[in-house]
Amino acid sequence: MIKMEMDEQRLREVIELSRIGLPEEEFKDVLDRVNAVLRMCDEMQDLRMDGVSPFEWDIIEAQRMRPDVPEVWEGRDAFLNQAPVRDGDFFRVPRIIPLEEDGVSEE
Amino acid sequence: MKRNTVIGLEIHLQLKTRTKLFCRCSTDYIGATPNTNVCPICLAVPGTLPLLNERAVELAIRMGLGLHCSINDNTRFHRKHYFYADLPKAYQITQYEHAIAVGGYLDINTGGVAKRIRIHHLHLEEDAGKLVHPTSDGRLTGAAYSLVDYNRGGMPLSEIVSEPDISSPAEAVAYIAQIRQLARYLDVSDGEMESGSLRADLNISLSNPDGSLGTRVEIKNVNSLKSAERALEYEISRQNRVLDEGGTLLQETRLWDDASGVTRSMRSKEGVRDYRYYLEMDLAPIAAKPDYVEKIRLGLPEMPWEKRERFTKTYGLSQEESAQLTEQREIADYFEACVAAKAPPSKASNWIRTEVQRMLNEKGIGIGDFCVSAEQLGRLIAKIEDKEISNTQAKDALTVMANRGAGLDEALKICGISCGRLTKEELEAAVRKVLAEEPAAAEAVRSGQDKKGSKYKFLLGLVMRETRGSADPAEVAELLGSLLNG
Amino acid sequence: MEIYRLSAKEIARGVKSGKFSAVEVLSAHIARIRECDGAVNAVVTLAEEEAYRRARDIDGMIARNEDPGPLAGVPFLVKDNFCTNGIRTTCCSRMLLDWVPCYDATPVKNMSDAGAVLMGKTNMDEFAMGSTTESSVFGPTLNPRDTGRVPGGSSGGSAAAVAAGYCPIALGSDTGGSIRQPSAFCGVQGMKPSYGQVSRYGIVAYVSSLDQVGPITRNIDDMAAAMDALARADENDSTCDAYVRPSFSRAAAAEGMRGKKIAVLSGFDRSSVDAPLTEAMDRAAEVCRDLGAEIVTADLPITMKHGVACYYMIALGDASSKLACYDGMRYGFHADGKTLSEMYKKSRNLGFGDEVRRRILIGTCVLTRGYYDNYYVPATKVRRMIADEYAALFAEADALICPISPALPYRRGLVEEDPVRIYLGDAFSSTANLAGLPSISLNMGFTPDGLPANIQLMGPRYGDADLLSIASAIERQVGSPDIADPLTKGGRKQ
């Protein structure tokens, strides 16, 4: 069994990855909760799982694929009208690269 | 120090479907008003679910078969997570494992040398939207804000990943060109680098003298074959320079700057990049059953290399001629229809590669928009072969057919070309006429004073002009001879 | 008898026969809502205008001798994570407080196509994350049976609404017990169908591979009628099965018990479950036996030991993924930022409540390198093992009786004191979601204090019709629950 603990550094990484801005004073409480959940899950690792493949659905008659026929969405204008960051036909976002840095953002 | 160049390519092809990969939006987004080819699914509106496009799967399988891959009969999708303005769900639906096609190869030819490049896999994924930056050069650096257009978001892409078997910029170019040709032959993609339906990411490293692999650098933003070649050449010299000077190379992504002819480091945002790939459970696994794949295989057209081979064997053309004629499937088809209309292969080959190609270039059109059908051209060339008309006359007729859309017979009439040979009487009348009009020249030839034969040629030319080029020069010579000498 | 006390079937029959109009029916139920909801807070949006329009349409059809459908004039409510065209859909979160969808969720459309009349949206735990309906931006819902207690969650509003007589049918969503547990806490009948039985299109996602839509009713006949309307193929949901469903109403009416083998769960510590609940299980087994079924016991060792951990790994991981689209750009709560990253963080931090933020963080962590291999991947394999364990059980038995919640309805505020206990409360209910099995929360009566005691009745995958038969047979013996009166029974007003 590998008991993993989430520490503050990993929490900071996870905050970045999930774009959730968590105030510092909430760090301890979140870490306690996360680690409580992880402790709940440690024992799963000890099960013998050789040859077990991950779960997938057995759907009887799935509609797995859709015909290649285009449709126009009538609600486009109404949708744009209530978008928080609408700018004409576009969505507008603030500065992607922070001012202090030079270079290009990934992706 | 001699270091080997090791190159692997990742090529993204936009698939020629009518709708996006996971929704029913049209794929016809070039030139469209921003954010009009969108719907709740590709805008990630809460409660929506992806719906896989069957034609995209079919095209991916076609391309996989063309690349000699095995088709996975239980292919699956995964989510790749990251936040960026062009990605509405904040994850891209792609294939991380169990790609739809694996383990193939592509044979390329670089300056006469053949080489087999192994294909690691081909997978399906959705494209991201487009960002517009209000900077003077349109680049992201320095933009105070950006505008997002999701029309391209969700477009179906197939990504082809090669093994690092490519050893030179020339080979890389040959590989990209062959992928492009195959994609067009199979009608899988338009494969245009300039408009973005074919995008190539280049991975290059220099191996150390002891054979160990060097640091791998990825190059993006290459928009043409020429750029790919220049970018790789630049990068090879840059990497050699750094290593020669005792420096170390960073494993990084660099952007090719075509205007300056250099690659630039793309300094990523500080911090962690973890895509957290896991199974996409909103989609059921796709079972590409053997008979489904077989049906697709049976519907495949002849591969470009197969056609090239066949043309050299069946039509007795040179390798180079075959390569030119089969470069585009439509022209190869045109050539064969021409030959079927009784044009001799070598003549048809010449006419198409010279006259027809020149006209297409001038008009800026493809063979599909050329108003002279292959059958019409074939019949025209056959008439030359049967000596019914001359080369010159045929060129004139073709010009009329191409410019005015006239049919063959109408064009010949417009040019005043009468088909069929001249009768003996018509020819004799023409020769007599010329001799009567040019007594001095006739006398010179008759009396043997025309040592250089220039007067003779002059008379011959006049007869040809008189008969509007439809006389057979050999017959004219015979007649001239007999009439001049009694 | 007041119209709101009638069952769905009785209402449909009455509307079709002209005994009363759809408008009358609607009025009676809206009056009931107005009367009680101050004390319960189950309804977050009452769409009166649209409802009356629809009711008038139904009456028009009746007047023209057209058949509006099997649920003609039946009023219903849906949980506020069901997209409803033109009616705000908030998931009880600040993140979507003003969001009005431009389309109807397929289950909503299916109910309307069957003649039912949508009255509005019910309260829930924010983004369906919770078991007490106390994390809603609209304030908590109170249990109509005892307003000092929670109604359960996350579909607490829908369960409370049915218990208090607001409507005979309400729809909820169940990811780890979110229909069945509130049904148990409020003393009504609730069903989570097999995964793939009902379309998820238009349900704001929590966990792709666990979410399922289901009906909450006061009797099994109404539940079966709702299933007939809801369980259909849908081209907008690739995970919704396209097979031809049997008639669930016919199954519920059939003679359900003779020759069946009913398993009773054993191998767990009975003292960890409140006594009235284990007694309810025993009573249910007795009823089955009296009706001619064979009773056996069954063990689910892996499921009982690892089920809830497995559930949380999968649920939290997927939740972090499905909630990543809330970035304040195209819809939802928006906060300005100097940079793109800041805009994301501010919008998400201010738009999401505490529990949602915590779960996203835990879920993101579980999917990162290291944690993914040691926690998430084992969970996906344990899930397969749990599904196999259930399959082996149902190879030998037709249904399983077990608890839903280990506890009677919690007192309000417990979730703040002891959150892990609340998580563990999903131990019995969440494994049905992991294996995709149909499961019914069936009321077996009330304690002397008036608290409901429900059992869980589970069946094999796609065995929904048979399960309804069995549930119906039990209900015929023990009776179906009465409407709660929140104004007089056990209630301090909020």
Residue A52 maps to a domain? no
Which of A21, A43, A94 lies at the smallest CB-CB distance from C345?
A: A21
Helix, strand or coil, per DSSP, at residue C176:
coil
Say which residue, C283 or B406, is predicted with more confidence.
C283
Domains of chain B: 4-293 (no CATH), 302-415 (no CATH), 424-484 (1.10.10)
Q: B217-222 and B253-257: which strand pairing? A: parallel
How far apart, in whole angstroms, are the C-alpha atoms of residue C426 and residue B160?
45
Residue A39 maps to a domain? yes
C349, two tokens: 């931090």
Q: B276: number of CA atoms within 13 Å, CB side?
A: 23
Residue A79 maps to a domain? no
* CATH code where residue C174 lies: 3.90.1300.10
Residues in A closer than 8 angstroms to C384, CB to CB, are: 52-55
Residue C492 maps to a domain? no
Query: Is the pLDDT score of A107 beyond 80?
Result: no
**Quick one: pLDDT at residue B261?**
93
Residues of chain C whose pLDDT is less than 50? 490-494
How far apart, in whole angstroms, are the C-alpha atoms of residue B309 and residue B300?
17
For B121, the enclosing helix (H) or strand (E) is strand B113-126
For C231, the enclosing helix (H) or strand (E) is none
Interval A55-82: pLDDT, tens: 988 766 666 789 999 999 999 999 999 9
Angle at C19 between CA C15 and CA C24, to 5 degrees: 65
Of A22, B48, B46, the closest CA to residue C360 belongs to: A22
- If one counts the domains in chain C, the total is 1
Q: Position B270: which residue type?
A: E
Average pLDDT for residues A46-54, to the nearest whole number?
87
- Give the C-alpha distances (Å, rounded to integers) separating C37 from C31, C97, C137: 10, 20, 16
- Give the C-alpha distances (Å, rounded to integers) separating C310 from B309, C70, C303, C314, C372: 59, 40, 9, 6, 13
Describe the crossing of helices B439-446 and B424-437 by its angle, rounded to 10 degrees. 100
Query: Is the pLDDT score of B268 beyond 80?
Result: no
Residues 344-373 of C with CB under 8 A from A: 344-346, 348-349, 352, 357-358, 360-362, 364-365, 368, 370-371
**Quick one: pLDDT at residue C492?**
35
Residues in B closer than 8 angstroms to A68, CB to CB, are: 17-19, 53-56
Which of B40, B47, B279 lies at the smallest CB-CB distance from C204?
A: B47
How far apart, in whole angstroms, are the C-alpha atoms of residue C293 and residue C258?
5
**Quick one: pLDDT at residue C68?**
97
Per the CB < 8 A criterion, the answer to whether C277 and C463 are in contact is no
**Quick one: pLDDT at residue B465?**
83
Length of chain C, in residues:
494
Enumerate the active-site residues of C.
79, 154, 178
Q: B61: number of CA atoms within 13 Å, CB side?
A: 26
Residues 61-90 of C with CB under 8 A from A: none
Residue A83 maps to a domain? no
Residue C136 maps to a domain? yes
Its domain, for residue A21, covers 8-46
Which of C238, C302, C383 lies at the smallest CB-CB distance from A63?
A: C238
Strands (E), C57-207: 75-79, 117-122, 169-174, 189-192
**Quick one: pLDDT at residue C491?**
41
Residues in C closer than 8 angstroms to A50, CB to CB, are: none
Mean pLDDT for chain B?
Answer: 91
Average pLDDT for residues B326-351, to the nearest whole number?
94
Helix, strand or coil, per DSSP, at residue B145:
strand
How far apart, in whole angstroms, are the C-alpha atoms of residue B44 and residue B88?
6
Query: Is the pLDDT score of B271 beyond 60?
Result: no
Q: pTM here?
A: 0.90
Q: pLDDT > 70: what percent of chain B?
A: 97
Of A8, A93, A87, A85, the closest CA to residue C342 belongs to: A93
Interface check C324 vs B, CB under 8 A: yes
Its domain, for residue C27, covers 3-302+384-478
Residue C369 maps to a domain? no
Say which residue, A96 or A57, is predicted with more confidence.
A96
DSSP B450-469: -SSSHHHHHHHHHHHHHTTT
Helix, strand or coil, per DSSP, at residue C366:
helix
Of C360, C393, C386, C430, the closest CA to residue C210 belongs to: C430
Residues 6+ positions from B84 with CB-CB distance below 8 Å: A105, A107, B128
Residue C350 maps to a domain? no
Per the CB < 8 A criterion, the answer to whether C112 and C456 are in contact is no
- Give the C-alpha distances (Å, rounded to integers) separating C390 from C210, C303, C305, C436: 16, 8, 14, 10
Per the CB < 8 A criterion, the answer to whether C156 and C19 are in contact is no
Residue B433: count other Cβ atoms within 10 Å of its Cβ.
13
**Quick one: pLDDT at residue B267?**
64
Average pLDDT for residues A21-44, to the nearest whole number?
87
Query: Is the pLDDT score of A101 beyond 80?
Result: no
Average pLDDT for residues B77-95, to the nearest whole number?
96
**Quick one: pLDDT at residue C493?**
32
**Quick one: pLDDT at residue A39?**
87
Q: Position C150: which residue type?
A: V
DSSP bridge pairs for C223: none
| Closest CA in chain A for residue B57 | A65
Q: Is residue B336 exposed (0-12), middle (13-18) or buried (19+ Cβ within 10 Å)?
A: buried
**Quick one: pLDDT at residue A102?**
41
How far apart, in whole angstroms, are the C-alpha atoms of residue B330 and residue B313?
20
Mean pLDDT for chain C?
Answer: 95
Q: pLDDT > 70: what percent of chain A?
A: 88
Residue A17 maps to a domain? yes
Interval B189-207: pLDDT, tens: 999 999 999 999 999 999 8
Helix, strand or coil, per DSSP, at residue C297:
strand
| Closest CA in chain C for residue B277 | C367
Residues 195-254 of C with CB under 8 A from A: 195-196, 209, 233, 235, 238-243
Residue A65 maps to a domain? no
How far apart, in whole angstroms, are the C-alpha atoms of residue B321 and residue B357?
13
Residue C447 maps to a domain? yes
Query: Is the pLDDT score of A103 beyond 70?
Result: no
Per the CB < 8 A criterion, the answer to whether B110 and A66 are in contact is no
Residue C335 maps to a domain? no
- If one counts the domains in chain A, the total is 1
Query: Is the pLDDT score of B172 beyond 90?
Result: yes
Residues in A closer than 8 angstroms to C424, CB to CB, are: 40
Helix, strand or coil, per DSSP, at residue C302:
helix
